[in-house]
């Protein structure tokens, strides 16, 4: 199965980049994984006038193509002010303008890491809502990792034992689910 993975963060030392890289290493065997950097998708704020004048920007089209080529998508996202990062929402808005919409029918797993004690669950629910509106099947289980600034060593390797043990199980459940759903198409 082809899986696109990215962290919805531009920050060089992002906790979500660390999380998605660890998830990539923990993926069950047999998956064809593409890990992309979110800064490959730099695009202007969505504007219907821009779309009418010039169409979908090249960076948005690159993201459309990456999503369309995948059977499933795994996103690690920060939470900004208890919500979805504006850059990710903007990317969803632009990519949803493509015909056909690359999100429709896509299997998605959401996760996020934050230094706060609350985790990223509020933002993940907003992302879930935006993606489900586009026809995605967002996996019921999400990973909202709290206190993530203490969960990685200097090399970016996951050291928090509960997450380290649970993440491979979550990825296995998701890939089994996504493979089953993809075969049903």
The 10s digit of each residue's pLDDT in 34-72 is 999 999 999 999 999 999 999 999 999 999 999 999 999
Tens digit of each residue's pLDDT (9 = 90 or more) over 144-158: 999 999 999 999 999
pLDDT score at 36: 97
Tens digit of each residue's pLDDT (9 = 90 or more) over 73-127: 999 999 999 999 999 999 999 999 999 999 999 999 999 999 999 999 999 999 9
Q: What is the spatial distance between Cα 151 and Cα 113, in angstroms, rounded to a whole number?
A: 9
pLDDT score at 148: 96
pLDDT score at 183: 77
* Confidence category of residue 168, pLDDT binned at 50, 70, 90: very high
pTM of the model: 0.96
Q: Kindly report the CATH number that applies to the domain delimited by 2-183.
A: 3.40.50.360
* Confidence category of residue 185, pLDDT binned at 50, 70, 90: low
Indicate whether 184 pLDDT > 70.
no
* Confidence category of residue 21, pLDDT binned at 50, 70, 90: very high
Q: What mean pLDDT comes out for the span 128-134?
A: 98
Q: Give the start-to-end residue ranges of the domains of the chain.
A: 2-183
Task: Kindly state the tokens that stand for 104.
Answer: 């429709």
Of 66, 92, 63, 53, which is closest to residue 2 (Cα–Cα)? 66
Task: Kindly state the tokens that stand for 32.
Answer: 């064809």
């Amino acid at each position: 199965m082809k899986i696109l993975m990215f962290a919805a963060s531009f920050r060089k030392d992002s906790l979500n980049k660390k999380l998605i890289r660890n998830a990539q290493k923990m993926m069950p065997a047999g998956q064809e994984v593409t890990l992309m950097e979110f800064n490959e998708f730099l695009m202007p704020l969505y504007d219907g006038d821009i779309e009418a004048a010039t169409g979908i920007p090249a960076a948005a089209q690159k993201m459309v193509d990456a999503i369309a080529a995948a059977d499933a998508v795994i996103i690690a996202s920060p939470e900004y002010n208890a919500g979805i990062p504006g850059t990710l929402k903007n990317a969803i808005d632009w990519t949803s303008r493509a015909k056909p919409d690359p999100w429709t029918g896509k299997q998605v797993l959401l996760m996020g890491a934050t230094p706060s004690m609350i985790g990223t669950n509020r933002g993940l629910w907003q992302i879930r809502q935006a993606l489900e509106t586009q026809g995605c099947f967002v996996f019921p289980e999400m990973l909202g990792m709290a206190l993530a600034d203490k969960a990685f060593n200097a090399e970016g390797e996951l050291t928090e034992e509960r997450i380290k043990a649970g993440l491979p199980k979550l990825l296995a459940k998701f890939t089994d689910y996504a493979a089953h759903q993809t075969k049903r198409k």
